[in-house]
Amino acid sequence: MTHIEQSADVSPLATIGNESSIWHLAQVREGAVLGKNCNIGRGAYIGPDVVLGDNCKVQNYALVYEPASLADGVFIGPAAVLTNDLFPRAINPDGTRKGNDDWEAVAVTIGQGASIGARAVCIAPLHIGAWAMVAAGAVVNRDVPAHALVVGVPARQIGWVGTAGHRLQFTDGAWQCPATGERYDQLGSEFSVPV
Protein backbone atom coordinates (compact mmCIF):
# COMPACT_ATOMS: atom_id res chain seq x y z
CA MET A 1 0.00 0.00 0.00
CA THR A 2 1.27 3.48 -0.85
CA HIS A 3 2.00 5.77 2.12
CA ILE A 4 2.05 9.58 1.87
CA GLU A 5 2.60 11.58 5.06
CA GLN A 6 0.08 14.36 5.64
CA SER A 7 2.80 17.05 5.63
CA ALA A 8 4.14 15.93 2.22
CA ASP A 9 3.24 18.04 -0.81
CA VAL A 10 2.41 15.64 -3.64
CA SER A 11 0.88 17.02 -6.84
CA PRO A 12 -2.30 15.31 -7.97
CA LEU A 13 -0.63 15.28 -11.43
CA ALA A 14 2.23 13.08 -10.18
CA THR A 15 2.13 9.29 -10.60
CA ILE A 16 3.07 7.33 -7.51
CA GLY A 17 3.75 3.59 -7.81
CA ASN A 18 2.31 0.93 -5.52
CA GLU A 19 4.03 0.33 -2.19
CA SER A 20 5.87 3.69 -2.38
CA SER A 21 6.35 5.92 0.68
CA ILE A 22 6.66 9.71 0.75
CA TRP A 23 7.68 11.09 4.11
CA HIS A 24 7.30 14.34 6.08
CA LEU A 25 7.69 17.64 4.20
CA ALA A 26 8.78 15.98 0.94
CA GLN A 27 7.58 17.56 -2.31
CA VAL A 28 6.74 15.64 -5.48
CA ARG A 29 5.88 17.95 -8.38
CA GLU A 30 3.46 17.68 -11.28
CA GLY A 31 4.26 15.13 -13.93
CA ALA A 32 6.77 13.28 -11.74
CA VAL A 33 6.59 9.50 -12.06
CA LEU A 34 7.68 7.25 -9.21
CA GLY A 35 7.88 3.51 -9.81
CA LYS A 36 6.68 0.95 -7.33
CA ASN A 37 8.25 0.55 -3.89
CA CYS A 38 10.09 3.91 -3.92
CA ASN A 39 11.02 5.67 -0.68
CA ILE A 40 11.16 9.49 -0.66
CA GLY A 41 12.70 10.83 2.57
CA ARG A 42 11.85 13.80 4.74
CA GLY A 43 12.18 17.15 2.96
CA ALA A 44 13.27 15.61 -0.36
CA TYR A 45 12.31 17.36 -3.60
CA ILE A 46 11.31 15.57 -6.82
CA GLY A 47 10.93 18.07 -9.68
CA PRO A 48 8.31 18.23 -12.45
CA ASP A 49 8.47 15.32 -14.92
CA VAL A 50 11.32 13.58 -13.04
CA VAL A 51 11.16 9.81 -13.57
CA LEU A 52 12.16 7.25 -10.94
CA GLY A 53 12.18 3.53 -11.66
CA ASP A 54 11.08 0.86 -9.20
CA ASN A 55 12.73 0.46 -5.78
CA CYS A 56 14.48 3.85 -5.75
CA LYS A 57 15.46 5.46 -2.45
CA VAL A 58 15.81 9.25 -2.20
CA GLN A 59 17.09 10.16 1.26
CA ASN A 60 16.22 13.16 3.44
CA TYR A 61 16.63 16.62 1.88
CA ALA A 62 17.95 15.36 -1.46
CA LEU A 63 17.05 17.54 -4.45
CA VAL A 64 16.26 15.86 -7.77
CA TYR A 65 15.61 18.54 -10.40
CA GLU A 66 13.86 17.99 -13.70
CA PRO A 67 14.37 16.43 -16.18
CA ALA A 68 16.37 13.83 -14.18
CA SER A 69 15.75 10.16 -14.90
CA LEU A 70 16.63 7.38 -12.46
CA ALA A 71 16.54 3.70 -13.42
CA ASP A 72 15.41 0.92 -11.07
CA GLY A 73 17.11 0.61 -7.71
CA VAL A 74 18.91 3.97 -7.64
CA PHE A 75 20.00 5.34 -4.24
CA ILE A 76 20.26 9.11 -3.68
CA GLY A 77 21.92 9.95 -0.35
CA PRO A 78 20.92 12.65 2.15
CA ALA A 79 21.18 16.22 0.84
CA ALA A 80 22.55 15.12 -2.55
CA VAL A 81 21.71 17.41 -5.48
CA LEU A 82 21.05 16.62 -9.15
CA THR A 83 21.26 19.96 -11.00
CA ASN A 84 19.62 21.00 -14.27
CA ASP A 85 21.01 24.34 -15.44
CA LEU A 86 24.23 24.89 -17.44
CA PHE A 87 24.21 28.67 -16.99
CA PRO A 88 22.38 29.42 -13.72
CA ARG A 89 21.14 32.98 -13.41
CA ALA A 90 18.13 34.52 -11.65
CA ILE A 91 17.85 37.27 -14.28
CA ASN A 92 18.36 37.80 -18.00
CA PRO A 93 21.09 40.17 -19.26
CA ASP A 94 18.47 42.94 -19.49
CA GLY A 95 17.71 42.59 -15.76
CA THR A 96 14.32 40.91 -16.15
CA ARG A 97 13.58 37.87 -14.03
CA LYS A 98 14.24 34.57 -15.81
CA GLY A 99 11.18 32.47 -16.51
CA ASN A 100 10.71 28.92 -17.76
CA ASP A 101 11.08 30.05 -21.39
CA ASP A 102 14.46 31.70 -20.71
CA TRP A 103 16.48 28.53 -20.18
CA GLU A 104 16.68 24.92 -21.21
CA ALA A 105 16.79 22.27 -18.50
CA VAL A 106 19.48 19.58 -18.89
CA ALA A 107 19.33 16.16 -17.25
CA VAL A 108 21.24 13.91 -14.92
CA THR A 109 20.46 10.30 -15.83
CA ILE A 110 21.39 7.44 -13.54
CA GLY A 111 21.59 3.75 -14.45
CA GLN A 112 20.23 0.76 -12.57
CA GLY A 113 21.44 0.21 -9.03
CA ALA A 114 23.79 3.20 -8.93
CA SER A 115 24.36 5.09 -5.65
CA ILE A 116 24.93 8.80 -5.06
CA GLY A 117 26.48 9.54 -1.65
CA ALA A 118 25.39 12.09 0.94
CA ARG A 119 25.85 15.73 -0.11
CA ALA A 120 27.23 14.78 -3.51
CA VAL A 121 26.46 17.18 -6.36
CA CYS A 122 25.84 15.91 -9.90
CA ILE A 123 26.20 18.74 -12.42
CA ALA A 124 24.01 18.21 -15.49
CA PRO A 125 24.18 17.19 -18.22
CA LEU A 126 25.72 13.85 -17.33
CA HIS A 127 25.07 10.13 -17.14
CA ILE A 128 26.03 7.89 -14.23
CA GLY A 129 26.27 4.26 -15.31
CA ALA A 130 24.58 1.23 -13.80
CA TRP A 131 25.89 0.11 -10.39
CA ALA A 132 28.34 3.04 -10.18
CA MET A 133 29.03 4.63 -6.81
CA VAL A 134 29.57 8.34 -6.19
CA ALA A 135 31.24 9.02 -2.82
CA ALA A 136 29.76 11.35 -0.24
CA GLY A 137 30.62 14.99 -0.94
CA ALA A 138 31.84 14.37 -4.49
CA VAL A 139 31.16 16.89 -7.25
CA VAL A 140 30.49 15.01 -10.49
CA ASN A 141 30.93 17.08 -13.65
CA ARG A 142 31.39 14.35 -16.29
CA ASP A 143 29.92 10.97 -17.15
CA VAL A 144 30.67 8.04 -14.85
CA PRO A 145 31.07 4.53 -16.34
CA ALA A 146 29.04 1.58 -15.08
CA HIS A 147 30.52 0.05 -11.88
CA ALA A 148 32.95 2.97 -11.40
CA LEU A 149 33.78 4.31 -7.94
CA VAL A 150 34.32 8.08 -8.03
CA VAL A 151 35.40 10.46 -5.25
CA GLY A 152 36.50 14.06 -4.75
CA VAL A 153 36.07 17.55 -6.15
CA PRO A 154 35.92 17.27 -9.07
CA ALA A 155 35.09 13.57 -8.95
CA ARG A 156 37.70 11.15 -10.28
CA GLN A 157 37.59 7.39 -10.59
CA ILE A 158 39.57 5.40 -8.01
CA GLY A 159 38.25 1.89 -8.60
CA TRP A 160 35.33 -0.36 -9.46
CA VAL A 161 32.38 -1.66 -7.42
CA GLY A 162 30.14 -4.69 -7.80
CA THR A 163 26.38 -4.93 -7.56
CA ALA A 164 26.67 -5.36 -3.77
CA GLY A 165 28.47 -1.99 -3.52
CA HIS A 166 31.81 -3.37 -2.38
CA ARG A 167 35.03 -2.30 -4.06
CA LEU A 168 36.20 -4.96 -6.53
CA GLN A 169 39.60 -6.62 -6.25
CA PHE A 170 41.61 -7.80 -9.22
CA THR A 171 42.54 -11.45 -8.80
CA ASP A 172 43.30 -14.32 -11.18
CA GLY A 173 42.73 -12.19 -14.28
CA ALA A 174 39.30 -10.85 -13.32
CA TRP A 175 37.64 -8.39 -10.96
CA GLN A 176 35.97 -10.02 -7.96
CA CYS A 177 33.57 -8.83 -5.26
CA PRO A 178 34.93 -9.69 -1.79
CA ALA A 179 31.40 -9.89 -0.37
CA THR A 180 29.60 -12.05 -2.94
CA GLY A 181 32.42 -13.71 -4.87
CA GLU A 182 30.89 -12.45 -8.13
CA ARG A 183 33.51 -12.17 -10.87
CA TYR A 184 33.49 -9.47 -13.54
CA ASP A 185 35.17 -9.35 -16.92
CA GLN A 186 36.33 -5.90 -18.06
CA LEU A 187 36.28 -4.84 -21.70
CA GLY A 188 37.47 -1.23 -21.83
CA SER A 189 35.17 0.63 -19.46
CA GLU A 190 32.43 -2.01 -19.73
CA PHE A 191 31.86 -4.79 -17.20
CA SER A 192 30.03 -8.06 -17.53
CA VAL A 193 29.33 -10.77 -14.98
CA PRO A 194 30.46 -14.18 -16.25
CA VAL A 195 27.80 -16.89 -16.21
Instruction: Convert the pLDDT of each residue in 43-88 to its tens digit.
Output: 999 999 999 999 999 999 999 999 999 999 999 999 999 999 999 9
What is the chain's alpha carbon radius of gyration, rounded to the nearest angstrom? 18
DSSP string, 149-178: EEETTTTEEEEEB-TTSPBPEEETTEEE-T
How far apart CA 157 and CA 133 sit, in angstroms, is: 10
**Nearest alpha-carbon partner for 38 in 24, 23, 58, 9:** 58
* Alpha carbons within 13 A on the beta-carbon side of 169: 7
| 70 SS3 class | strand
Instruction: Convert the pLDDT of each residue in 106-144 to its tens digit.
Output: 999 999 999 999 999 999 999 999 999 999 999 999 999
